[in-house]
Structure 1
Amino acid sequence: MGSLSDNGGNWPPDGGSPDGLPDLPEEWGVIVIPDDLSELSDEVTAVRDELRRSQRQSRWQRFAERPGMRTLRRAGAASLRAPVLIISMAVLVTVASLFASAWPGPARSPATQRTATTTDDRGDTLPALELIGADGRTVPLRGQLPAVVLLTDGCECDRLVADTAAAVKPEIAVVTVVSGAAPGQTGGAPPTGATPQPQGTAVRALRDPTGELRAGFEFGPPDGTAAALLVNRGGEIVRKVPRTVSIEDLRPDLARL
């Protein structure tokens, strides 16, 4: 700095600055210089931080900090929030599905072997019953397939039996079944009915001594009508008719045997 004027280092009497320096701007106000410069440490730190930020900002950053650009950034973030949330939920659902499909389920109990006293839970399979034939010998019911099985307890069903034998194909058996033992017999022969039909289809008359077939399919007690089971070659029940007296109830499904 230059030396002070010849008046002993004091300010000139006319109010000007020493050594011809210009006056400070009026908008700065009154400037007080403290005796201890450490009191200005906070101001110095703030000025340095501001200078450091301004030096680090590039031209693109300064452009991005404009109010209009900040508004666009907020609008863009809001518009992307919903799609991101939807995609995240879809990923979570997919991962959960993969874990659920790969997770081992409870052990299944082995299927119950069908016997004369058990039937399929769904009731769509003919049980492996052994019935009594006209000669008193046991006859496997499933050995007669495919077949139309008519439960004729207490039914005057001669017309139904004859019409059924006439309607079926030659390879389809017609089996009549009555429940209980014959009068005066223990599991004796069933009533007549094994008369050959004109088309060559014979009616096989069998007796169910214990009534398991009727009870297994929950046909109820005899009421003067017949119950019918249409069974294909694999033993599956194609049609179950709890009450019938006419071949017309069975005719639509005979072709499925």
Structure 2
Amino acid sequence: MGKPDADDPGLPDLPPEWGRVVVPDDASALAAEAEQVRRELSRQAPETAGPTPPLALPLLVLLVAVVTTLAGLVTVTWSRSPRSTVPTSTPAPYAPPPGLTGRSLPALDLVDDGQPVPLRSLVPALIVLADACTCPAELAGAASAAPRGVTVVTVDADPAVRVPPSAAVRALEDPAGGLRAFLHLPARAGTATALLVDRTGTLVKVVPEVRSTGDYEPELARLGG
């Protein structure tokens, strides 16, 4: 059996309120007390343990991840989807620069089979620039509408659609682009430009885009008067 620890001179004094403490010689004698202590701790564990972490936070994180992924997929799909076709409006005809009418025709030399031809020597004239189109209808219409005494000059016309040359029709070339530079009118695909010049070499009218002979017939008739 054990003996009181107070009789052992090697142990410190214990608090008096504990009473006499007996240390058994065999530790198995404390098995019953140890079991009772374990039961007490087991009953107190649910009360002292902290609350179980809720599932709301992990679910919220998962939901945000799913929504972000779906948003990224929608964005990629939208960017790759064919866009609606925007109707392309027909460009409006451009007007000639102001101040051309009433100016004198520049002293340009055009080319006829390699030979220079002074442009002013052909006035009065209807000059048709066909450097951006084949324009067979416009060329034929100009030749038929010109009154007697007015020269029709086709400039850079396609040889396949040129009006047969005659005393009243001259097919010339402008390799340096002098007329376009003078007019400040760039060539526009599919259209011809017409100039009406009186017998003094003065520009009477500029038609940037010829649609029919009706665009210049009144002025053309006066050139032959």
TM-score normalised to structure 2 length: 0.50
Offset from partner CA, 1:44-81 (integer Å, 9 cap, x none): xxxxxxxxxxxxxxxxxxxxxxxxxxxxxxxxxxxxxx
* Pairing 1:195–2:164 present: yes
8 Å CA contact 1:170–1:201 kept in 2: the answer is no
Aligned to 2:109: 130
Q: Give ranges in structure 2 of 5+ residues lacking alignment.
A: 1-97
CA separation in 2, counterparts of 1:151 and 1:255?
20
CA separation in 2, counterparts of 1:150 and 1:138?
18
Runs of 4+ aligned residues of structure 1 deviating over 4 Å after TM superposition are none
Aligned to 1:176: 154
- Code of the aligned partner of 1:195: P
- Code of the aligned partner of 2:211: V
CA separation in 2, counterparts of 1:240 and 1:232?
12
Offset, 1:167: 1.1
Offset, 1:226: 0.5
State the percentage of identical aligned residues.
Answer: 46
Offset, 1:220: 1.3
How many residue pairs get matched?
A: 123
Aligned to 2:5: none
Between the two structures, name the one with larger relative contact order (CA 8 Å, sep ≥ 6).
2
**1:156–1:194 CA distance, 2 compared to 1 (3 A):** closer
* Pairing 1:140–2:118 present: yes
Offset from partner CA, 1:203-234 (integer Å, 9 cap, x none): 21111111010111011133210011000000
CA separation in 2, counterparts of 1:235 and 1:201?
19
Counterparts of 1:51-90 in structure 2, within 5 Å, are: none
Offset, 1:156: 2.3
**What's the C-alpha RMSD, in Å, of the aligned pairs?**
2.2
CA separation in 1, counterparts of 2:108 and 2:211?
25
CA separation in 1, counterparts of 2:167 and 2:111?
20
TM-score normalised to structure 1 length: 0.44
CA separation in 2, counterparts of 1:221 and 1:152?
9
